[in-house]
Amino acid sequence: MVAKLKDVLGHLGGAVTARIWRLGFASRFFGYMLLHSGTALRRFGLTIREIYFAGVLSLIIILVSGLFVGMVLALQGYETLQRYGSSEALGILVALSLVRELGPVVAGLLFASRAGSAITAEIGLMKATEQIAAMEMMAVDPIARVVAPRFWAGVISMPLLAVLFSAMGIFGGYLVGVQLIGVDEGAFWSQMQAAVDVREDILNGVIKSVVFGVAVTWIAVFEGYDAQPTAEGVSSATTRTVVTSSLAILALDFVLTALMFTGGNAR
Amino acid sequence: MNRAAIDIWVGLFVAAAFAGLLFLAMKVGNLASFSTAQTYQVQAKFANIGGLKVRAPIKSAGVVVGRVADVRFDNESYEAIVTFNLDSRFQFPRDTAAKVLTSGLLGEQYVGLEAGGDGVMLKGGDRLRLTQSAVVLENLISQFLFNKAAEDKDAKETK
Amino acid sequence: MAGPSIVEIEGVSFGYEAARPVLHGVNMRIPRGKVVGIMGQSGCGKTTLLRIIGGSRRPGSGSARVLGTPVNELDGAELYALRRKMGMLFQFGALFTDMTVYENVAFPMREHTDLPPDMVHDLVLMKLEAVGLRGASRLMPSELSGGMARRVALARAIALDPQLIMYDEPFTALDPISLGAVARLIRLLNDSLGATSIVVTHDVAETLPFVDYVYFMADGRVVAEGPPDEVVSASEPFVGQFVNGRLDGPVPFHFPAPGYGADLGLAGTA
């Protein structure tokens, strides 16, 4: 009985230590990649290519999702607001929800599933087919040549995608709120403009999406680079990327929101 | 995908994102109106500011003329010291009154300025003398109940 | 053997995990200009040896010298400088799948030299011509057959005219025609470049005809060495079993197991 308990605790402890060890390894990897980002920034064509694959190819899903999220926000928001006679605040509701929260977070989650998993799979497959080893034998640092451009591409693409998501969402909210439901167009936009602050809301939203971009892309490149060089290894690495990135986004969102949006009054 | 095509698409992507950001800043946010205007600071003391927050609007005749910059507590007079950033375009007389008002019935609170008649205008660093504190809902209700109780008592006595 | 050595391996021992050593005190000399074969079963440590020579792994003990420099003591920029003089052909080619054949062969040139594009163009086509694939320069690796991919990888390995070329199981999964082509190319390129080649393989029939010297390895040790005809005719039992493909010999057919009768549960057997 005691032996079994010991066993379970041992396994738990082992799992925790293994995770902490892996986090340390990932941090060293991150530091190394930052130090060796010279190639990615000097030969910017490499990074631009990766921005195409990570950012441009994610545009469709981001724009369409943004549109639908905005439309649903307007629908749901109107239902509740009109009960208190505040249906003119619909613009504020849609804009603030998107710019502060939904834009960075949902765009981040979509980016993690689409681009993050693609990056992990790509790097993992390169490792499995010995392309990484071949590059090393040809005296080219694979982290500088393959990993760093993808990382910077992700960090650059993420805020751009979040902004487009928010913009599309507000447009969707306008379509449903003003055109479909009939909220006053002037009130919709003017109330929104009065309530949304460029520094507090929009800038903070952009900062959030940059932080998410760093987190998601770091996880994606690390899981790819550290994957087992087999088919199952790459597939489980891809899954891990999506799961870990999503959790990281939500956790970071909480921390950042607490820092940014309640700091003023918590004094 | 050849190099030229990729570059074009990435360029379009970045341009679209900047357009989106511009749209957000101008059409959605308040970049067009306030943030870059010149301001001067004045202070006012209130017995109770209620729910007044930093960045709350300061309105006169219903038009936004400034924003609340800072809220502090004076440990000697036990009052709140509020600092206003007023738009330099607007000058107010020294005897202007500042009241903490609520937008709508239960909405957020803002500062309303009622201009006085003094010939001398406020300048940066001045203190507004006339202030009216926020209406605190609990006090209002207890006042109402107290009045109601007094009415009933009078009604009973005159019977 | 006479002649200066390009590679000298002395007393190298290595294990991926401390408990399971893969190499035990291996000694080898690879003289300049020769094609040397390293043969043995899967798991005998020959690929690991290649990795140690290339500097991807550090031996637990002993030293590995390439072109006079101890590889196991180099790191970072020095190791990369040494690797530019080496070329390696990986087991299935390891071509970069997102680039064309042309770009694959041009890769080492573009990364390590400042040659103008037209010079790179001429050099790439020359290398491809040497392996017979100049016409395939616009194809993607996914459009190539196994043999063709292997030959493109070979062109890439010699892109910078290396002094040492290493081949990791170059004949795996090739049809007879491609096998012959690769074998002939290994010898041809070695001689025309004046380079030194190490071929790690277990393909006896194709390799023995063209190598100058051969090392046989078993269980992480060198069990026989010498010019092909000498080694094959010598009396080393492992070589005999390996070269002739005999069922039983120093490498047993049966994996260690308890008694057959006992396993089947027959009465009267232990």
Q: Which chains contact A through at least 3 pairs of Cβ atoms less than 8 Å apart? A: B, C
**Residue B147 located in a structural domain:** no
Q: How far apart are CA C104 and CA A228, in angstroms?
A: 25
pLDDT tens column, A83-136 = 988 888 899 999 999 999 999 999 999 999 999 999 999 999 999 999 999 999
- The DSSP annotation for C89-110 comes to E-TT----TTS-HHHHHHHHHH
Give yes or no for residue C234 having a pLDDT over 60.
yes
Give yes or no for residue B34 having a pLDDT over 80.
no
Determine which of A24-33, A192-201, B12-21, C222-231 has the lowest per-residue pLDDT on average: A192-201
**Residue B152 located in a structural domain:** no
Chain C residues near residue A135 by CB distance under 8 angstroms: 96
Please give, rounded to a whole number of angstroms, the shortest distance from the CA of C92 to a CA of chain A: 8
pTM of the full predicted structure? 0.81
**Residue A266 located in a structural domain:** no
B10 part of contact set with chain A, CB < 8 Å? yes
Give yes or no for residue C171 having a pLDDT over 70.
yes
Coil/strand/helix, residue A164: helix
Is B61 in the same domain as B99?
A: yes
Determine which of A234-243, B75-84, B104-113, C142-151 has the lowest per-residue pLDDT on average: B104-113
**Residue C236 located in a structural domain:** yes
Nearest residue of chain C to residue A145 (CA atoms): C111
User: Are A131 and C111 within 8 A, CB to CB?
Assistant: no
Q: Which chains contact B through at least 3 pairs of Cβ atoms less than 8 Å apart? A: A
Q: Do residues A95 and A200 lie in contact, with contact meaning Cβ atoms separated by under 8 Å?
A: no
Is B12 in the same domain as B71?
A: no
What integer pLDDT is reported at residue A267 of this predicted model? 37
Give yes or no for residue C50 having a pLDDT over 70.
yes
Looking at the DSSP bridge assignments, the partners of residue C66 are: C7, C69
Q: How far apart are CA B70 and CA B58, in angstroms?
A: 13
Domain containing C139 equals 34-53+77-246
**Residue B3 located in a structural domain:** yes
**Residue A23 located in a structural domain:** no
Average pLDDT of chain B is 84
pLDDT tens column, A124-138 = 999 999 999 999 989
What integer pLDDT is reported at residue A80 of this predicted model? 92
- Crossing angle for the helix pair A117-128 and A204-225, to the nearest 10 degrees: 20
Q: How far apart are CA A258 and CA A223, in angstroms?
A: 29
**Residue C2 located in a structural domain:** no
Query: Where does the pLDDT of residue C2 fall: very low under 50, low under 70, confident under 90, or very high at 90 and above?
Result: very low
**Residue B154 located in a structural domain:** no
What integer pLDDT is reported at residue B33 of this predicted model? 56
C90, C114, C166: best to mutate for the A interface, most A CBs within 10 A:
C90
Is B99 in the same domain as B121?
A: yes
Surface of A (143-172) touching C: CB under 8 A = 145
What integer pLDDT is reported at residue B26 of this predicted model? 82
Chain C residues near residue A131 by CB distance under 8 angstroms: 94-97
Is B79 in the same domain as B57?
A: yes
User: Are A194 and B30 within 8 A, CB to CB?
Assistant: yes
Give yes or no for residue C103 having a pLDDT over 80.
yes
Q: Count of CB atoms within 10 A of residue C189's CB?
A: 22
Task: Say which of C54, C56, C94 has its CB closest to residue A131.
Answer: C94
User: Are A51 and B10 within 8 A, CB to CB?
Assistant: yes
- ipTM of this model? 0.84
Share of chain C above pLDDT 90, in %: 39
Nearest residue of chain A to residue B54 (CA atoms): A264
Chain C residues near residue A145 by CB distance under 8 angstroms: 111
Nearest to B25 by CA among A224, C220, A99: A99
**Residue C105 located in a structural domain:** yes
Please report, for residues A231, B22, B140, B143, B145, the alpha-carbon distance to residue B152 in angstroms, rounded to integers and kept in the order given.
85, 62, 18, 14, 10
What integer pLDDT is reported at residue A266 of this predicted model? 43
Average pLDDT of chain C is 88
Is B49 in the same domain as B70?
A: yes
Domain containing B16 equals 1-32
Is B64 in the same domain as B27?
A: no
Q: What tokens were used for A83?
A: 């009960």
Share of chain B above pLDDT 90, in %: 11
Is B21 in the same domain as B45?
A: no
Quote the number of domains for chain A: 1
**Residue A186 located in a structural domain:** yes
| Sheet containing B39-46: order of strands | B127-128, B39-46, B79-87, B63-74, B57-60, B109-114, B97-102, B130-132
Nearest residue of chain C to residue A137 (CA atoms): C83
A185 part of contact set with chain C, CB < 8 Å? no
Is B119 in the same domain as B137?
A: yes
Give yes or no for residue B18 having a pLDDT over 80.
yes
A140 part of contact set with chain C, CB < 8 Å? yes
A60, A200, A202, A260: best to mutate for the B interface, most B CBs within 10 A:
A202
**Residue B76 located in a structural domain:** yes
Quote the number of domains for chain C: 1
Please give, rounded to a whole number of angstroms, the shortest distance from the CA of C233 to a CA of chain A: 37
Q: How far apart are CA A126 and CA A140, in angstroms?
A: 14
**Residue A233 located in a structural domain:** yes
Query: Where does the pLDDT of residue C165 fall: very low under 50, low under 70, confident under 90, or very high at 90 and above?
Result: very high
DSSP A57: G
C16, C96, C169, C172: best to mutate for the A interface, most A CBs within 10 A:
C96
**Residue B19 located in a structural domain:** yes
Q: Do residues C82 and C74 lie in contact, with contact meaning Cβ atoms separated by under 8 Å?
A: yes
Is B86 in the same domain as B109?
A: yes
CATH number for the domain harbouring residue C238: 3.40.50.300
User: Are A59 and B13 within 8 A, CB to CB?
Assistant: yes
Q: How far apart are CA A175 and CA A75, in angstroms?
A: 10
**Residue C69 located in a structural domain:** no
**Residue A210 located in a structural domain:** yes
Residues of C with CB under 8 A from a CB of A: 54, 56, 79-81, 83-84, 86, 88, 90-92, 94-97, 107-108, 111-112
Please give, rounded to a whole number of angstroms, the shortest distance from the CA of C191 to a CA of chain A: 22
Please give, rounded to a whole number of angstroms, the shortest distance from the CA of A135 to a CA of chain B: 22
What integer pLDDT is reported at residue C3 of this predicted model? 54
Q: Which chains contact C through at least 3 pairs of Cβ atoms less than 8 Å apart? A: A
Q: What tokens were used for A230?
A: 């087999």
Give yes or no for residue C167 having a pLDDT over 90.
yes
Average pLDDT over residues B62-72: 86
| Residue corresponding to tokens 């694939």 | C133
User: Are A129 and C54 within 8 A, CB to CB?
Assistant: no
Domain containing A122 equals 36-261
B7, B24, B105: best to mutate for the A interface, most A CBs within 10 A:
B24
User: Are A163 and B30 within 8 A, CB to CB?
Assistant: no
Give yes or no for residue C204 having a pLDDT over 90.
no
Q: What tokens were used for A118?
A: 């693609």
User: Which amino acid belongs to residue A77?
Assistant: G
Q: Do residues A181 and A243 lie in contact, with contact meaning Cβ atoms separated by under 8 Å?
A: no
Quote the number of domains for chain B: 2
What integer pLDDT is reported at residue C1 of this predicted model? 43
- Crossing angle for the helix pair C146-157 and C176-193, to the nearest 10 degrees: 10
What integer pLDDT is reported at residue C63 of this predicted model? 87
Enumerate residue ranges in chain A where pLDDT < 70: 263-267
Is B12 in the same domain as B66?
A: no
Task: Say which of B9, B32, B57 has its CB closest to residue A56.
Answer: B9
